[in-house]
Amino acid sequence: MLAIQRMEPECSSSPSSTEWMPELTENCAVCGDRVNSCRLGPPACLGCIVFFRRSIIHSSKYRCLRGESCLINYEFRSSCRYCRLQKCFQTGMKQSAVRRRDCIGPRRPSPCSSDPPVLYPETDVQFIDRLIRIQTRQFEEHKKQSVVKSRRATVSDVNRMFKWSINNALEWASQFDPFQKLANEAQKCVLSEYGFSFFLIDQGFRTKCEKASGYWMLQNGTYLHSDYYYGQTDDVMETDYNTVRSHFEFVKGLQIAIQKPFESLDIDMFEMAALKSLLLVSREFSSYFFFTSTIFNFPASFPKPNIFSDYQERMEALKERCSYELMEYLSSKYTDTFVERFGALIIILGEIRTAVKLVYNQTKVSDLFDSKKFDPYVRSFFLS
């Protein structure tokens, strides 16, 4: 087990804040955007932190084309890298803070401690990179066990996909030490929601990759089609109108909420891994809940109370690390649009949480998702 030490609070952020980013009153000293942290000295937004860090690590040499006095604000911060870097230095960002951080992980360098706590034993491996290896292996496993010829999914396919998702989610969550420390029952509780996010994310990704327009692909290569009867064999039983209609709405809902953004962003393996991680470590188990629970009558125990309340600071730190690595990855791949792309991914997080509730709802009305027909292991995750 890793030895975990407390993270120091960033600036004045309140640990109880449920906002995506810590809520701070100050603005980024460089560009005026919303402050992410003071880890490099002055309060700064994530964009400027990433920019400064990359510049230092790569020893970037920039040139100004306009007399070295460009205005750097939120709108123009990307227009001159030379002047932006100068402004970073002027506001007090320190090269040493970057170097230090690289050795100890994402935390504010603490001037009073000569022996900084180690966040991860393997300092040279980025957290999300390690998770991508797990993801790649899980996807290869799915491919190996896929049907040879795609066909309409049956209830036993759906059952099996839940099992895969729960097991994949368990392996994933086990990479996060607060999860490991939970009692079995609590872990199960987390998985009953988290496993269902895997169900949706992995299927959304497969659907995107196969460019299967009109289909919603399951991990094993079977599909759901919004037309309930599509691809059914001749010996179909009569199905009542409500089932057919709710099936249509369910599949369309997934296509709009997940498939469409996955396709339009052409989401990649790194972003997938980041989304899965952020889903676990960010606690906002849905502002939609009240709304949907009223309509669909979810059991009162859903969503779960904050199971990680004992490890809140550690979860905050993990959230910061994951969002930081994501932002840094995006900044190298999408030089001009990475901030917008980051925002778009965060919106997808919310969509996934909402869609998990659609899945629960579907188990009440659909023969394909009829939990009574699932095996006891999978069924136990619906009841917990």
Residues 72-111 that bind Zn ion (CB under 5 A): 80, 82-83
Q: Does 31 bind Zn ion (CB under 5 A)?
A: yes
Residue 80 or 119 having the CB closest to Zn ion: 80
Closest CB 74 distance from Zn ion, rounded Å: 7
Distance (Å, whole) CA 115 – CA 292: 49
Q: Does 318 bind Zn ion (CB under 5 A)?
A: no
Q: Does 35 bind Zn ion (CB under 5 A)?
A: no
Q: Does 28 bind Zn ion (CB under 5 A)?
A: yes
Closest CB 84 distance from Zn ion, rounded Å: 8
Closest CB 104 distance from Zn ion, rounded Å: 23
Residues 114-143 that bind Zn ion (CB under 5 A): none
**Sequence-ordered list of residues with C-beta below 8 angstroms from that of 230, at least 6 positions apart, any chain:** 152
Residue 70 or 257 having the CB closest to Zn ion: 70
Quote the distance between the C-alpha of residue 285 and its chain's center.
13
Considering only residues 24, 30, 56, 358, which one is a binding residue for Zn ion as defined by CB under 5 A?
30
Q: 290: number of CA atoms within 13 Å, CB side?
A: 2
Closest CB 83 distance from Zn ion, rounded Å: 3
Residue 76 or 229 having the CB closest to Zn ion: 76
Residue 33 or 328 having the CB closest to Zn ion: 33
Q: How many residues bind Zn ion (CB under 5 A)?
A: 11
Closest CB 94 distance from Zn ion, rounded Å: 16
Residue 75 or 268 having the CB closest to Zn ion: 75
Nearest to 69 by CA among 50, 88, 84: 84
Q: Does 70 bind Zn ion (CB under 5 A)?
A: yes
Closest CB 90 distance from Zn ion, rounded Å: 13
Considering only residues 10, 33, 193, 328, which one is a binding residue for Zn ion as defined by CB under 5 A?
33
Residue 83 or 218 having the CB closest to Zn ion: 83
Closest CB 341 distance from Zn ion, rounded Å: 17
Considering only residues 24, 35, 38, 48, which one is a binding residue for Zn ion as defined by CB under 5 A?
48
Closest CB 158 distance from Zn ion, rounded Å: 46
Which stretch, 44-52, 198-206, 327-335, 345-353, contacts Zn ion (CB under 5 A)? Answer: 44-52
Distance (Å, whole) CA 307 – CA 325: 25
Closest CB 70 distance from Zn ion, rounded Å: 3
Which residues of the chain form contacts with Zn ion (CB under 5 A)?
28, 30-31, 33, 45, 48, 64, 70, 80, 82-83
